[in-house]
Structure formats: structure tokens, C-alpha cells
């Protein structure tokens, strides 16, 4: 942009930090990403156990077909050809939902590709609710059109309150007198983003649903490979990433950012800093008086989404081959509200005759609360045994669905405490700030802080998930550039 480009520091190298860095580096800024861990990627990065890559935050992606929103983002970032993916839904199923209440629900429901196919499956499963389903699909289609056209990103403001679907989705379904079965099927997308149906704004629910029903994809390689692609692209554009550096303080004078101080004592100067971390973690880095008490109070009181508990196990590939769709076991109450989900995925691995079984469910914080004040190395045998016990319960439940696993080997287990300590997410929250109807005002425009030159990025800015996080990156860049410059310099619609 200039002969002497402005220096920008970005704190955190998850997909939010890396995508923000790539956008700015592409525009000519001097960008450096700072990461406390020794490898970049945050929740994007997978890890290896027994020679097998285990995913953390990316189990499948939505809307990567040509003309769809994530494809537009990848095209702009310049990574589309370097992130190999395979399309799901070729067998007519992206996700299969299994319900625990057959008296009020279908035994299962198949989530397909395409809004028309989704509507057809709903009407087959709930033949007495045809008119209700037409109404519901109409709002989903509208959100899908807005999502792929990037209406939100190019609007005057960058907050979801612009959209006309701010009512809690549970209230929408109440008004339509949905049966418990239909309610539970429709409510699953709100669980994907960690928001209870009764408090999930309709636009968040519909955006999550639209993003995956448009098209769904699996990474052919690992999350670590995905992270490495983003790092390589950043470096190709002249950006830098420094790992193994932890920030002790963001330096602020008269509410203007000046740079950061590392735990080592080293000072790094910058007039623009973007924190791709949770806003509550950023508060801990700010000196007293850097922000108004009202701002600090608002951020401190933000409620977060729940965490997750994850199990990774290797199984015999011949008796349990890769399944091209995901499986959800759904626990509901009598009204059709979702109490819990268990997610299952069986994938091929790099090892011959070995497949990977991944299981994710809610964090059940009460199981881990006794260790919440402890450090990783000091949690002891009881913690490890509790992890293993819960993992074996989930594996036993998986065998009820898939049959007995041959050559089953438990590879790894992580808890909410793992996520909390690894990526600095308060309470181990998997999806960041709770984007609920009751927190609409408190979460408005989180990427704009009360300090000049200091911004937030990442999944907490607009929405969780890969799409929501990258869209938040573009929204933050719009704040840095100003709306007119953003529209002039960044064109995504024709990608």
C-alpha cells in the first residue's frame, strides 16, 4: 500500500489470526503474528498419536463449492488449491441424527446436501407439518442467499443485528407450533455453535444450517496441514510468524496502543495490534486504566459457550471402514429440546488397515471442576483415570451403534481443561463468546475495543466455525481500513 508499510502485530495464530494476517499482508501491511505455543494453528491444528493425525477443531467444512461463501474466502486468501478436500453427501447423507425418543421423534433423520433435499426429507419425516416446513425453509433460503452474497460483510455496519431474524429460534418454533420431533431436528444447528435453542438468534441458527446444507466437505489431509498452508501463504506474502512467545502486556498510553511486552521483557512496537484471542484474555493483558470500567465490566461478564470432551481411538479398518457421513446421537426432552449431542466420525488414516474413530460431546464441566485450578502437570492419577473412565463409557456407547470394534486402541482424550490451557479459552469454551439473544447488545461489535489501534479478531467477533471466524477477520480488516477503503480494496463477490 505504501513504500513504508504500517507495522501490525497479531496475537494468536488460530484460523482467525492467520486469515486476518493474510488479508493484511496481501494489502501490503508489514504483519507479524505472535503465538505462545511452539506450533501455529490453535484449534485448527491437529496432533499425532501413534502415527495417526487426530483433529481438534475442524471435522468438516461447509460452503466450499464454487460461488459459495467459504470458497470465496479461500479464493481471496489464495489457498483453495492447497487445501485438498472431498465432498460429502454423495450418498445423500452429510449427517445422520439418531434420536432417543422414538415415541415423539423419527428413529433417525438424514441431513442431505441442498435446501430442496433438506425440505423433502423434513416433509417425509413430518408429513403433518407441510405448511410449517415451507415457512421454515423460506427463512433458511433467505439466510443462505445473504450468506453467499456476503450482504453482512459489505453492509454499513458489521453486526448481525442488521438481519431481521434476531428472535430466539426456540420462540420461532413455539410460534409455529412445531412437534417435538420437528423441533429437535431443526434445533441441531444451534447445538453445533454451542447456543441453547431457547436463546439462539434465528439468524445464527439459519446461518449455521445454510453453511453446511449448501455443501459439506472433509479435509483430505489434516488440520495441521491446513494450518501449514495458511502459514506458508502468509510467508509468501511477506508476513512473519513467531512461535513460542508469550505476551505479558499490551502497552497502552492515553488509550492509544503502543505495542506489546513479552514475558521475556522484550518490547515490540506497533501502532496497530489485532488480538485474535478471547476478549476476556485480552483484558488480562491490558494495564489498569487502559479501558473504561464500563467496557471492562461488559467484557468480564460475557457468558461463554460450553466446552467439549473428545475421544480419539484407532480401530480395524476392514471391519469398520470409513463412513462418508457423520453420526449424531441426540438426547432430547419431552418437548424436543436438545439436552446433549454425541458426534461420531470414522475416517481413514495414514496407517494401513487402521481407521480413526472420533467422538465429541459436551464438556460436562462438573466432571472436571475439582481440577479447574490445577496445572496440566499436577492433575495427577485421579484426573487421568477420570478421563479414561469417561472415554470408555463413550466408546461402549459407540459399540452399541457400530458393533464391537476390533483392535480398538484408545489414542487420546481431551477435556475442557485441555482446551482452556492450550489455546487460552476461558472455561475451555469451544465456540467462544455465547452468541445468544440475551447477549445481543453485550456482544455487539466485539472487534472494536475502547483503545485506539487495538482490535479483536477470531471466532468471537461475529460467529464461530471456519466461515464465521474468517468472516470476522474480514470485518476486522474493514475496521482497520475504514469502510470506503475496504470496499475499494477488497472484492469477494465475483470470486
Question: Which residue among 185, 217, 249 closes a domain?
Answer: 217
Tell me: do 124 and 201 sit in the same domain.
yes
Q: Say if 132 falls within a structural domain.
A: yes
CB 467 within 8 A of CB 63: yes
Counted domains in the chain: 3
Q: Say if 103 falls within a structural domain.
A: no
Question: Which residue among 426, 452, 474 closes a domain?
Answer: 426
CB 346 within 8 A of CB 405: no
Cα–Cα dist 461/318, whole Å: 44
> Taking the chain (495 residues) in consecutive chunks of 10 residues, what is each chunk's mean pLDDT?
72 97 97 96 92 92 96 96 94 94 80 97 96 96 92 65 72 95 95 91 93 96 94 98 96 95 96 95 94 91 93 97 96 91 95 96 83 80 93 97 97 93 89 90 80 93 91 94 90 64
Range(s) of the domain holding residue 179: 85-93+111-217
Given this model, what pLDDT does residue 158 score? 46
**Burial class, 124, CB count within 10 angstroms (exposed 0-12 / middle 13-18 / buried 19+):** exposed
Q: Say if 392 falls within a structural domain.
A: yes
Q: Say if 56 falls within a structural domain.
A: no
Q: Say if 98 falls within a structural domain.
A: no
Q: Tell me the residue ranges of DSSP E strands in 154-270.
A: 216-219, 240-243, 247-253, 256-262, 267-269
**CB half-sphere exposure, 393, CA atoms < 13 A:** 11
- DSSP assignment string, 40-103: S-GGG--EEETTEEE-SS-S-EE--STTSHHHHHHHHHT-GGGS-EEE--TTS-SEEEEES-TT
Cα–Cα distance list, 220 to 203, 233, 284, 467 (Å): 30, 19, 38, 18
Tell me: do 354 and 238 sit in the same domain.
no
Cα–Cα dist 442/307, whole Å: 21
Given this model, what pLDDT does residue 114 score? 97
**CB half-sphere exposure, 249, CA atoms < 13 A:** 12
Tell me: do 316 and 389 sit in the same domain.
yes
The strand pair at 308-316 and 354-362 is best described as: antiparallel
Q: Say if 436 falls within a structural domain.
A: no
Tell me: do 320 and 420 sit in the same domain.
yes
Tell me: do 89 and 209 sit in the same domain.
yes
Tell me: do 297 and 360 sit in the same domain.
no
Tell me: do 318 and 415 sit in the same domain.
yes
Structure-block grid coordinates of residue 43: 484449534
Q: Say if 120 falls within a structural domain.
A: yes
CATH number, domain of 241, equals 3.50.50.60
Tell me: do 312 and 297 sit in the same domain.
no
Tell me: do 285 and 332 sit in the same domain.
no
Name the H helices within 237-326.
279-285, 293-300
Given this model, what pLDDT does residue 366 score? 80
Question: Which residue among 174, 202, 217 closes a domain?
Answer: 217
Tell me: do 458 and 371 sit in the same domain.
no
Q: Say if 266 falls within a structural domain.
A: yes
Tell me: do 115 and 191 sit in the same domain.
yes
Tell me: do 297 and 310 sit in the same domain.
no
Amino acid at each position: 500500500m505504501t513504500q513504508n508499510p504500517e507495522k501490525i502485530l497479531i496475537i494468536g495464530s488460530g484460523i482467525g489470526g492467520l486469515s486476518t494476517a493474510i488479508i493484511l499482508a496481501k494489502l501490503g501491511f508489514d504483519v507479524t503474528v505472535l503465538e505462545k505455543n511452539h506450533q501455529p494453528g490453535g484449534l485448527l491444528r491437529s496432533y499425532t498419536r501413534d502415527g495417526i493425525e487426530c483433529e481438534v477443531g475442524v471435522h468438516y467444512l461447509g460452503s466450499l463449492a464454487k460461488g459459495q461463501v467459504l470458497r470465496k474466502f479461500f479464493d481471496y486468501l489464495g489457498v483453495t488449491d492447497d487445501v485438498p478436500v472431498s465432498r460429502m453427501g454423495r450418498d445423500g447423507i452429510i449427517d445422520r441424527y439418531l434420536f432417543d425418543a422414538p415415541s415423539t421423534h423419527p428413529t433417525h433423520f438424514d441431513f442431505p446436501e441442498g435446501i430442496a433435499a433438506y425440505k423433502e426429507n423434513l416433509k417425509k419425516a413430518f408429513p403433518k407439518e407441510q405448511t410449517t416446513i415451507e415457512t421454515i425453509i423460506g427463512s433458511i433460503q433467505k439466510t443462505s442467499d445473504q450468506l453467499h452474497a456476503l450482504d453482512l460483510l459489505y453492509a454499513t455496519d458489521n453486526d448481525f443485528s442488521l438481519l431481521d431474524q434476531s428472535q430466539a429460534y426456540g420462540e420461532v418454533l413455539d410460534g409455529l407450533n412445531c412437534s417435538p420431533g420437528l423441533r429437535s431436528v431443526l434445533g441441531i444447528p444451534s447445538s453445533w455453535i454451542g447456543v441453547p435453542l431457547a436463546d439462539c438468534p434465528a439468524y445464527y441458527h439459519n446461518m449455521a444450517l445454510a453453511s453446511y446444507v449448501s455443501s459439506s466437505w472433509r479435509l483430505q489431509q489434516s488440520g495441521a496441514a491446513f494450518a501449514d498452508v495458511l502459514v506458508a501463504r502468509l510467508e509468501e506474502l511477506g508476513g512473519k510468524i513467531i512461535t513460542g512467545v508469550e505476551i505479558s502486556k499490551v502497552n497502552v498510553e492515553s488509550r492509544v496502543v503502543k505495542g506489546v511486552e513479552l514475558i521475556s521483557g522484550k518490547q515490540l512496537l506497533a501502532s496497530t495490534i489485532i488480538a485474535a484471542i478471547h476478549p476476556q484474555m485480552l483484558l488480562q493483558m491490558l494495564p489498569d486504566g487502559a479501558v473504561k470500567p464500563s467496557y471492562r465490566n461488559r467484557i468480564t461478564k460475557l457468558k461463554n459457550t460450553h466446552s467439549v470432551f473428545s475421544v480419539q481411538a484407532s480401530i480395524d479398518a476392514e471391519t469398520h471402514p470409513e463412513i462418508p457421513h457423520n453420526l449424531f446421537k441426540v438426547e432430547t426432552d419431552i418437548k424436543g429440546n436438545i439436552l446433549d449431542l454425541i458426534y461420531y466420525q470414522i475416517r481413514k488414516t495414514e496407517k494401513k488397515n487402521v481407521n480413526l474413530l472420533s467422538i465429541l460431546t459436551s464438556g460436562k464441566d462438573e466432571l472436571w471442576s475439582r481440577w479447574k485450578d490445577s496445572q496440566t502437570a499436577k492433575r495427577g492419577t485421579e484426573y487421568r483415570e477420570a478421563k479414561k473412565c469417561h472415554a470408555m463409557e463413550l466408546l461402549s456407547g459407540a459399540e452399541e451403534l457400530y458393533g464391537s470394534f476390533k483392535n480398538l486402541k484408545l489414542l487420546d482424550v481431551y477435556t475442557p481443561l485441555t482446551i482452556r490451557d492450550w489455546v487460552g479459552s476461558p472455561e475451555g469454551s469451544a465456540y467462544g463468546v455465547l452468541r445468544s439473544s440475551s447477549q445481543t447488545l453485550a456482544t455487539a461489535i466485539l472487534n472494536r475495543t475502547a483503545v485506539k489501534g487495538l482490535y479483536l479478531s477470531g471466532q468471537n467477533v461475529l460467529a464461530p466455525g471456519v466461515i464465521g471466524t474468517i468472516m470476522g477477520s474480514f470485518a476486522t480488516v474493514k475496521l482497520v481500513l475504514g469502510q470506503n477503503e475496504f470496499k475499494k480494496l477488497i472484492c469477494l463477490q465475483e470470486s
